Amino acid sequence: MTALPRTPSFRLDGRRALVTGAGRGIGAAMAAALAEAGAHVTLCARTEAEIEQGATALRAAGHAADWLALDVTDIAGFAEAVANEEPYSIFVNNAGTNRPKPFTDVPVEDFDFVMGLNVRAAFFAAQAVTRRMIAAGVKGSIINISSQMGHVGGANRSLYCASKWAMEGFSKAMAIELAPHGIRVNTLCPTFIETPLTKPFFENAAFKESVLARIKLGRLGTVEDLMGAVVFLASDASALMTGSSLVVDGGWTAE
């Protein structure tokens, strides 16, 4: 009989994963997804109580998890902590923020805050993780959490778009440079997801209606919509994928 091809495994057994912004929302869900797929997951955020609770819940479910209380905007502190850990082979670069305002109203303080976290901190967090991987000869997957707004524009989103288009750019450059080391780099680009961060926005009925009008599948995203995607990008199932974007946007960017 002809041998049938075998689907590459989505399992992550024996791999170590680091997820920033893992205290709640998208980050917590991605940590859970990676843990369910067999990875040992380190939850990272500023608020230790949240990530300790998350790691404890994962352990109670039979998964391997711990936590690191770190502020990713502390570039030197984050790099030092990562250098002292066993190398990770999966990095979900998720910590981010948004301060939506009309373009003409964006203050310098908001620019510095959003770009400082979404671009500066994300860039150097990825640098710290990959330096440790390269030093240890570890191959793996870097998943930078971008947005549909890294591919289109949006009203009141000039600053957020700037930050995510920047992430899309440095992710492609990372992919080119890190490929010889066996390190893949991709972005995951969600549409509007219901999380503690976005909940206040959707209390505005007109805003929610405008968002739903753009999402062709007719609903807001949930964190569960991203869990399979992050496992795919982390696993051997996406072994030939680098320098690309996985857009999970319900059809927002299709037109």
pTM beyond 0.85: the answer is: yes
Q: Which two three-digit tokens encode residue 37?
A: 């797929």
List the chain residues with pLDDT less than 50.
Answer: none
Residue 200: the pLDDT is: 87
Q: Cα-flanking dihedrals φ and ψ of residue 243, to 5°?
A: 70, 20
Helix (H) or strand (E) holding 245: strand 245-248
Dist. CA 91–CA 89, nearest whole Å: 7
Residue 198: the pLDDT is: 84
Q: What is the dihedral of CA 18, 245, 188, 163, to 10 degrees?
A: 90
What would the pLDDT profile of 48-75 be if each residue is shown by its tens digit? 999 999 999 999 999 999 999 999 999 9
Dist. CA 153–CA 161, nearest whole Å: 6
Q: Is 110 helix (H, G, I), strand (E, B) or coil?
A: helix
What would the pLDDT profile of 133-154 be if each residue is shown by its tens digit? 999 999 999 999 999 999 999 9
What domains lie within the chain, and their CATH numbers?
Answer: 16-247 (3.40.50.720)
Please tell me what DSSP assigns to residue 36. H
Dist. CA 168–CA 149, nearest whole Å: 10
Catalytic residues: 160
Q: Cα-flanking dihedrals φ and ψ of residue 152, to 5°?
A: -140, 180
Q: Is 93 helix (H, G, I), strand (E, B) or coil?
A: strand
105 and 154 Cβ atoms separated by less than 8 Å: no
Residue 49: the pLDDT is: 96
